[in-house]
Amino acid sequence: MATPMKDWKTEWEQLATEARMLAKRANQRMVRIERYSEREGMSGITEFAYKKAQQYIRGNLGVGPSGKGRFKENIKLYDVDTGSGALSGQALYKANVQILRHRIKATQEFLESESSVMGNKNYGITRIYDKRTNTINEKFLSKYGLELSENDLKRFFESKKQAKLAQIVGSDQMFAVASVMKKYNLKSNKRELERFLKNNVDLEDRAAVKSQVGESYSEYLDRVREFIDFTGDEVLDDMVIKALQSGINANNIFI
């Protein structure tokens, strides 16, 4: 007995219904992420599942005038030309079934990703942020007795100076340098540094750390380097000084 021909049109119609439903859910979730990303300290939430979904959409579906990609809720039958002529009938529906399967898979990946959900401390982007904070503190800061809070890190990653700091001291040490700046509220001006040294360094001769007229902030830092001990680690202290000389400080690295 001959095997009956598969009805690709019926399968496409079924998949079109599923794709439309998933796209609507995914688009609602992306709008929610975009709105939350406008809140203070939350811009980083678009760097996870949202970013991957946007990359898929831009590469396969295109974006509208707003510049923000969306999964297509209006499912249509695409014309397909294999090079030897345009497909029609069941062959056309079969080709479109493959297109829809690929789109459904991408949409499901976004919806099933933990980082696409706001969630709470047990699940969602909030838990991911908590986990990231703990990892950074344990891996990069605990050995120096330093710590950054979740809010500190949100503000840090939103700072335009974060990328510059990473270039100067490296993507690992940037957390420790930023933490030292926060701990001592280090600013990029001579008066603040002079006040810090007078309050934190035990010196008989206070004149040794007094800033001089006409001396730049960078020159002042070089001259008083021998009196600076932020962390007990000379290498890390040098990185902090280098970052300060580059204009990075507690004010602009935590916006």
Task: Give residue-wise pLDDT tens across range 67-122.
Answer: 889 999 999 999 999 888 899 999 999 999 999 999 999 999 999 999 999 888 78
Name the residue among 243, 78, 108 with its Cα closest to residue 177: 243
Going from the C-alpha of 75 to that of each of 10, 15, 132, 149, 200, the distances in angstroms are 14, 10, 38, 45, 67
Give per-residue pLDDT as tens, 174-199. Answer: 999 999 999 999 988 888 888 888 88
What pLDDT, in 10s, does the model give residues 158-180? 889 999 999 999 999 999 999 99
The overall average pLDDT reported for the chain is: 90
Domain boundaries, the chain: 8-116, 145-253
Q: Where residue 3 falls among pLDDT bands split at 50, 70, 90?
A: low
pLDDT tens digits, 205-214: 677 778 888 8
Instruction: State the Cα–Cα distance between residues 55 and 77, nearest whole angstrom.
Output: 23
pLDDT digits (tens, 9 = 90+) for 111-161: 999 999 988 878 998 888 889 899 999 999 999 999 999 889 988 988 899
**pLDDT at 203 > cutoff 80:** no
